[in-house]
A = this chain, B = another copy of it.
Amino acid sequence: MTVSLLQTIPRPAHSQNAPRARHVRVALAGCGVVGSELARLIDAHAPAIESAQHIRLEVVSVLVRDTLRARSVPVARNRFTNDVPEFLASNADIVVEAIGGLEPAGRIARATLARGGRLVTANKALIADAGDELVALARTNGARIDFEAAVGGGIPIIRSLRNSLRDAPVQRIAAILNGTTNFILTRIEEGASFADALAAAQAAGFAEADPTRDLDGTDSADKLRILAWLAFGLAPRDVDVRCIGVLPDPEALVREAHARGEAVRLVARCERQGARVTASVQPLRVPRGSLFARTIDEQNVISLDLGWNQPIVLSGPGAGGRPTATALLGDLVCS
């Protein structure tokens, strides 16, 4: 039985007094899986964004390593550069940083914020290292930094912790924060070898050429540091995470869990105990049917215990170009 009423969505009114769209110049650092997807999203959504929000996004500069490589992105070739000073000289209204790693990402971030610009970044390593410093730099210079895409891919966890839940009494965080590792564990559960599972994760655009940071827990630890910073107030760099990854033998971990009728997941946990915070990333056996066991493929999940009857739980795609680029676009268009 399907019960539904059909109705038509009215188109946005275009009155003659509609405000002129503000031109927003975007500079994009990085044109890999996420950066190129963002360029395509900006192109595809430009008319809707202009009509609804009266801003016209234009990508004016793209920083890449190799300017000669062919790319399927809707940006003119002459806007590509491999020179950081030239990229920064574009003085764009918003700089999107999607290259990852500490440098030159840190230099780009600091230069943008120091001149009072807006920075949108997907860089968990940089935010885990210097998020508090960058937020302070932004405040001092009337600049702004957003980083929804740094944790949880398309899941709106960062803005939730920075806004709605800012004064909520988070006591404990338990999460699956690395989509690549989770995808690989799920595939091995289904019978694949580690090598095949890793190859599939790379083919899907989840895993880097060198997936060590995913598999050894470093990436999860960076993201946990960011969540602990936002929830508990200590600087991300000061969050000491005891970190054990799924290497060297994820197949053995899955096998051991399977023998007990359980699944294995790479779990990031963080807890406030009085004035102290404990934090860890480690493979844990979890019961079949549990929240974490049901978190499969590249999915991420974040459970926030606030001492209420139920935790607040957010889940969704934690990796992949489209969800991550959508989170960047959200930061781009949010005032």
Q: Considering the complex, give the chain B residue whose CB is closest to the CB of A314.
A: B314
A149 to B21, CA, bound (A): 32
Q: Which of A7, A164, A276, A320 has the most CB of B within 10 A?
A: A164
Residues in B neighbouring A159, C-beta threshold 8 A: 156, 159-160, 163-164
Q: Considering the complex, give the chain B residue whose CB is closest to the CB of A235.
A: B10
A27 CB-CB contact with B under 8 Å: no
A334 CB-CB contact with B under 8 Å: yes
A311 CB-CB contact with B under 8 Å: yes
A49 CB-CB contact with B under 8 Å: yes
Do A9 and B276 touch across chains, with their CB atoms under 8 A apart? yes
A165 to B314, CA, bound (A): 14
Residues in B neighbouring A244, C-beta threshold 8 A: 3
Residues of A whose CB lies within 8 Å of any CB of B are 3-10, 12, 45, 48-49, 52, 148, 154-156, 159-160, 163-169, 232-235, 238-242, 244, 271-273, 275-280, 282, 289, 297-299, 306, 308-317, 320, 322-323, 326-327, 329-331, 333-334
Partner of A312, one of B238, B272, B277, B315: B315
Do B312 and A316 touch across chains, with their CB atoms under 8 A apart? yes
A128 to B277, CA, bound (A): 41
A167 to B322, CA, bound (A): 12
Partner of A163, one of B168, B273, B289, B334: B334
Partner of A4, one of B10, B12, B242, B289: B242
Partner of A308, one of B241, B278, B314, B323: B323
18 CB contacts below 8 A, A to B, read A3-B244, A3-B280, A4-B242, A4-B279, A5-B240, A5-B278, A7-B238, A9-B276, A9-B277, A48-B167, A52-B233, A154-B306, A156-B312, A159-B160, A165-B326, A167-B326, A167-B333, A310-B315
A8 to B238, CA, bound (A): 9
Residues in B neighbouring A8, C-beta threshold 8 A: 275-276
Number of copies: 2
Residues in B neighbouring A164, C-beta threshold 8 A: 148, 156, 159, 327, 330-331, 334
Do A6 and B282 touch across chains, with their CB atoms under 8 A apart? no
A310 to B275, CA, bound (A): 37
A314 to B329, CA, bound (A): 20
Q: Considering the complex, give the chain B residue whose CB is closest to the CB of A240.
A: B5
Residues in B neighbouring A166, C-beta threshold 8 A: 330, 333-334
Partner of A276, one of B6, B239, B279, B323: B6
A289 to B239, CA, bound (A): 36
Partner of A297, one of B155, B241, B310, B316: B310
Partner of A330, one of B5, B156, B163, B314: B163
Residues in B neighbouring A327, C-beta threshold 8 A: 164
Residues in B neighbouring A312, C-beta threshold 8 A: 154-156, 314-317
A302 smallest CB distance to B (angstroms)? 10
Q: Which of A168, A238, A241, A289 has the most CB of B within 10 A?
A: A168
A33 smallest CB distance to B (angstroms)? 14
Partner of A317, one of B169, B275, B310, B329: B310
